[in-house]
Structure 1
Amino acid sequence: MEADMRVLKMVDQYLEEVIVVILLAGMTFLVGLQVIMRYVMQDSLSWSEELARYLFIWMVNIGISYGVKKKRHISIDAINLFLTEKKAAYLSVLADVLFLTFAVIIVRYGAEVVQRIGITGQTTPALEISMQLVYCALPVGFTLVCFRLLQSIFKKVKLIQQGNFGEIEKAAG
């Protein structure tokens, strides 16, 4: 049981980081390989550029979740200068709830697009894999965003209940 909790904690801590690093490494390798093929071998791979592009799409969508987890997204904090710690804490929770609402909408409509692509049977030009795999990046990435936002909201609400309003800014990081 304790080992299971350690594994879950590691997944919670490093999931996005590991995925993004793997995708970035794959993308870098493919682009480097393409450069070598073009300039050294005087030939090119028809599929490497396309695969690198799709890895980039996945990396960005997983990276959004990482940004939420580490509180690295752009926010307007000038308003907080004019608010008490308590009001700023409530505003922070409200901002997360609004972002969560947006993320849920993206997941819902992203999943619909994936279904429609599946019905059409559309495939990628060079790799000839289903475009569903590419379009899945959006709902998968934003499902992770929803998870990270829920974590943030629960942490912040707990701190508010304890009266630790000043700790809210550190809650999601």
Structure 2
Amino acid sequence: MKETLLKVWDHLEEFFLIPSLIISTGLIFFQVIMRYIFRNSLSWSEEVVRYLYVWQTWVGVSYAARNGSHLRITMLKDRLPEKAQKVLEVFVVIVWVGFAVFVMIQGLSAVHAIASFGQKSSALRIPMQICYMSIPVGMVLMSVRLIERTIKYLRKSEGGSAE
């Protein structure tokens, strides 16, 4: 059971990103067929794809943090001694997590504001806070992934196992 939960956690982002990309691609294809062959477009498909794209973006931030694939400039870090590199890495992660917490708080504020107005999407009539909830969810996931990577990095650099 523990191994299964760890496997799910390790691939959490993919469990959302892969199916949502397939659904988005299928809906866009279906919309093109409807529009150009049947001369009739669907009102809801563009909205679903738009909101899935927003969620993909914010969950994708966490995925990139987990894999260490965010764009980084390491020119300064590469010139430092190993101990200074560790200190710099920890400092960068602290700043990054601080930024993520700030964005998460702002995202929660936006979710609260949208919820208080009772705003709904135009075609599907779903509450708009569902779309905006992607911001705090993505930032929480990214923060956890950054902390995980940093712990693994520090353990690895101390001569321990990275896993």
TM-score (structure 1 length as normaliser): 0.88
Determine the C-alpha separation between the residues in 2 that align with 1:91 and 1:12.
28
User: For residue 7 of structure 2, what is the aligned residue in structure 1?
Assistant: 10
- Aligned mate of 2:57, from 60, 63, 84: 60
1:134 aligns with 2:131: yes
* Structure 1 residue 159, shift from structure 2 partner: 4.1
The number of aligned residues is 163
* Structure 1 residue 22, shift from structure 2 partner: 1.2
Structure 1's consecutive aligned runs of 4 or more residues displaced over 6 angstroms after TM superposition are none
CA contact (8 A) 1:96 1:152 kept: no
Residue aligned with 1:9, SS? helix
**Percent same amino acid among aligned pairs?**
35
Code of the aligned partner of 2:57: V
- Aligned mate of 1:96, from 73, 93, 97: 93
CA contact (8 A) 1:114 1:132 kept: yes
CA contact (8 A) 1:111 1:136 kept: yes
Code of the aligned partner of 2:56: M
User: For residue 76 of structure 2, what is the aligned residue in structure 1?
Assistant: 79
1:48 aligns with 2:62: no
Determine the C-alpha separation between the residues in 2 that align with 1:8 and 1:86.
34
CA RMSD in angstroms comes to 1.8
Code of the aligned partner of 1:56: Y
Code of the aligned partner of 2:148: Q
Code of the aligned partner of 2:90: V
For structure 1, list consecutive stretches of 5 or more residues without a partner in the other structure.
Answer: none
User: For residue 155 of structure 1, what is the aligned residue in structure 2?
Assistant: 152
Per the alignment, do residues 151 and 81 of structure 1 end up closer, same or farther by CA in structure 2, a change over 3 Å counting?
closer
Code of the aligned partner of 1:37: M
Which moves more between the two structures, 146-155 or 34-43? Answer: 146-155
Determine the C-alpha separation between the residues in 1 that align with 2:50 and 2:143.
25
User: For residue 143 of structure 2, what is the aligned residue in structure 1?
Assistant: 146
Deviations 1:26-46 (A, max 9, x none): 110110110010112110001
Code of the aligned partner of 2:37: V
For structure 2, list consecutive stretches of 5 or more residues without a partner in the other structure.
Answer: none
Determine the C-alpha separation between the residues in 1 that align with 2:91 and 2:156.
14
* Structure 1 residue 109, shift from structure 2 partner: 1.4
User: For residue 111 of structure 1, what is the aligned residue in structure 2?
Assistant: 108
* Structure 1 residue 89, shift from structure 2 partner: 1.7
Code of the aligned partner of 1:44: S
CA contact (8 A) 1:37 1:43 kept: yes
